[in-house]
Amino acid sequence: MRQIDMSSPEFLEELEKTKKFTDKVCKQFGWVYNPNEEVNEGVIMGLARHKLLYGKRYCPCFMVIEEDGKFKSADDRICPCKPAIEKEIPEEGKCHCGIFCSPEYAAAHKE
């Protein structure tokens, strides 16, 4: 597997694009970021890494597997994933990875 230098210009540029992407997702769905900044930073870094490694922003909390020369998430989780949109955020207030939350969940979990 290809190694990613997390201080390389390539990674830092993708990290910036991924941050804009997650901002857009929040706005599109009316979600907010997790009040825990460390969660958000880790997930954004994971999404950027997966984009560089596999060409898509697979959720970093799930395995990415290669099948017939193509990559896919073990649970078909490409951010923002269907389970987060349809079940996790409406029912639990946050997605599995924890980056996206309902405004109510975030308010109740501020540190």
Domain limits, the chain: 9-108
**How does DSSP assign the chain, residue by residue?**
-----TTSHHHHHHHHHHHHHHHHHHHHHT-EE-S-HHHHHHHHHHHHHHHHHHSS-B-TTS-EEEETTEEEETT--BSSPHHIIIIIHHHHSB-TTSSEE-HHHHHHT--
Q: Do 19 and 40 touch, CB atoms closer than 8 A?
A: no
pLDDT at 111: 66
Query: Could you list the pLDDT tens digit for every one of the 111 residues in the chain?
Result: 678 888 999 999 999 999 999 999 999 999 999 999 999 999 999 999 999 999 999 999 998 988 888 888 877 799 999 999 999 999 999 999 999 999 999 999 986
CATH number 3.30.450.260 is the correct assignment for the domain at 9-108: no
β-bridge mates for residue 99, sequence order: none
Please tell me the total number of residues recorded for the chain in this structure.
111
**1-14, pLDDT tens digit by residue?**
678 888 999 999 99
Q: Do 1 and 64 touch, CB atoms closer than 8 A?
A: no
* pTM for the model: 0.92
